Amino acid sequence: MRVASWLMAYSTSFSRALRLFGLFIPVFILLILLARTKGTRDPGSVFFDPWTGYDSSYSSLRIEQANSYIEEINTLGEDTTEGIWKASEKPELCVGIATVARELEGAEYFKNTVATLLEGLSEIERSQIYLILFIAHTEPSDHPAVHEKWFKKLPDQILFYNEDLDIDHIRELEQNPHTLAKKKALLDYQYLLQACNSLNTPYILMVEDDVIAQDGWFHKTQEAISTAEQQNREIGASKWLYLRLFYSEEFIGWKTENWRTYTYYSVLVFFFVLFTSLGIRQYYHHSLPTGSIILLSFLITPLFIILFFATGRVTVLPIRHGVHQMPDSGCCSQAFVFPQSRVSQLLDIYHSHTEGNIDSITEAFANDHGEVRWAITPSIMQHAGRRSSKVEKGTSERGSRFKSKGEMKGSERLWNFEFELNDADMLREEHNRVKEMYTQL
């Protein structure tokens, strides 16, 4: 009798466990499908799809707007200034862009950067920006942009190397690929930053020449600066180092050095489910048989934990929109806003290094001194697109097979995935409302 009773209880427990598992399977499949949909633009997700993630949806539209703007400027006569606005006597922001003719499309990137920064600005907005374009060549004519009409018309200042510099040394650096990237780029950054600093604008925006600016980037930058200043006061900090307008989610995934933290919380969830199940059975007899508790704790819970991590950190724990601190994981130096009060110190820091990347040097200093660093989410700048969204799937712009993520170089993976979700019409409408507000003031 005891054996029969035990077998009956076991059979009942097993059948209930099977029913629980039967309910779990469709729910889990639905969650996988949802994770697959949401994780396609998360570079840390197992469901990441390079074709979708690296699709330059909004960037392509923004470049089309920029090209139309450049064509309009190029059709103007040599002496025509109508519709070409410049900075006022007291601009709020100096924007500096250094450029070198690295390759054929390098000139195209540079043009797109300048055009997307200026396209759509009102006269009032443009008056608050002092734009410096720095041709970082000992022979400026080597850069194709200097021969184009727009180049002479759009900036407030065109910067070249002056006679006070050691031109022979710079020429030597630019002829060596290693020193061009590690030494000359650092010197060029200092030279341009100093040129902006001499204007005494409250803030300086240093932009690389392979960036695409969002429609309305200027008013969003102004709002972000104001928010950063306010939040800086709220946390009791007397100063901040920079505001980042671009970063890549590539560096915001699960980090191997945090494996202890992930393990701790996973184990915590496991024991929470286990003890909660045991507690329910204790107070509500026969509600949860042993088989169901074992299934729930040792199979279903681990599968949910695995799916959580597989979906990707950017998807399951997204960074809130707005301005927030980013003391780590920020990359790279595509678009930094510096308060004018910090520039002299930054110049000293850069000058103390003979070579290195601006981003790495800046972050090392910030880490050593506990500097406050801000970033805006979503990013309002994008690294230059690798392909158009109109190219046939499976190919790149040049017709070769589209690379998988594993085949890409580090610079090719430098991408803000959320940027491409922008709605061009909504951004233009928002920007127009802001411009109307400016005219009413």
CATH number at residue 409: 3.90.550.10
Which structural domain, as residue segments, surrounds residue 11?
2-41+254-311
pLDDT at 393: 46
Rounded Cα–Cα distance for residues 386 and 396 (Å) = 8
Domain membership of residue 121 (yes or no) is: yes
Q: How many domains does the chain have?
A: 2
Asked if residue 120 and residue 69 are part of one domain, the reply reads yes
Domain membership of residue 258 (yes or no) is: yes
For 13, 60, 194, 308, 328, the CA distances from 71, given in Å and listed in that order, are 75, 16, 32, 49, 41
Q: Nearest Cα to 221, choosing from 94, 308, 329, 112?
A: 94
pLDDT at 68: 96
Asked if residue 239 and residue 133 are part of one domain, the reply reads yes
Share of the chain above pLDDT 70, in %: 87
Asked if residue 132 and residue 19 are part of one domain, the reply reads no
Rounded Cα–Cα distance for residues 193 and 344 (Å) = 9
Asked if residue 171 and residue 130 are part of one domain, the reply reads yes
Domain membership of residue 351 (yes or no) is: yes
Rounded Cα–Cα distance for residues 366 and 97 (Å) = 23
Asked if residue 89 and residue 56 are part of one domain, the reply reads yes
Rounded Cα–Cα distance for residues 81 and 86 (Å) = 10
Parts of the chain with a pLDDT under 70: 1-17, 79-81, 103-107, 285-287, 385-411, 441
Asked if residue 296 and residue 306 are part of one domain, the reply reads yes
Q: Nearest Cα to 212, choosing from 124, 137, 292, 119?
A: 119
Q: Nearest Cα to 312, choosing from 263, 270, 250, 260?
A: 250
Rounded Cα–Cα distance for residues 66 and 212 (Å) = 9
Domain edge (last residue) among 270, 295, 311 = 311
Domain edge (last residue) among 311, 327, 350 = 311
Domain membership of residue 436 (yes or no) is: yes
Domain membership of residue 145 (yes or no) is: yes
Asked if residue 163 and residue 276 are part of one domain, the reply reads no
Respond yes or no on whether the N-terminal peptide bond of residue 202 is cis (omega within 30° of 0). Answer: no
> Can you give the pTM of this predicted structure?
0.88
pLDDT at 78: 72
Asked if residue 154 and residue 69 are part of one domain, the reply reads yes
Start-to-end Cα distance in the chain: 91
Asked if residue 118 and residue 29 are part of one domain, the reply reads no
Domain edge (last residue) among 311, 329, 354 = 311
Asked if residue 265 and residue 371 are part of one domain, the reply reads no
Question: Residue 340: enclosing H or E segment and its boundaries?
Answer: helix 340-351
pLDDT at 110: 94
Domain membership of residue 46 (yes or no) is: no
Written as six digits, the tokens of 275 are 């003890």
Domain membership of residue 110 (yes or no) is: yes
pLDDT at 105: 55
Asked if residue 370 and residue 231 are part of one domain, the reply reads yes
Domain membership of residue 47 (yes or no) is: no
pLDDT at 94: 98
Asked if residue 370 and residue 224 are part of one domain, the reply reads yes
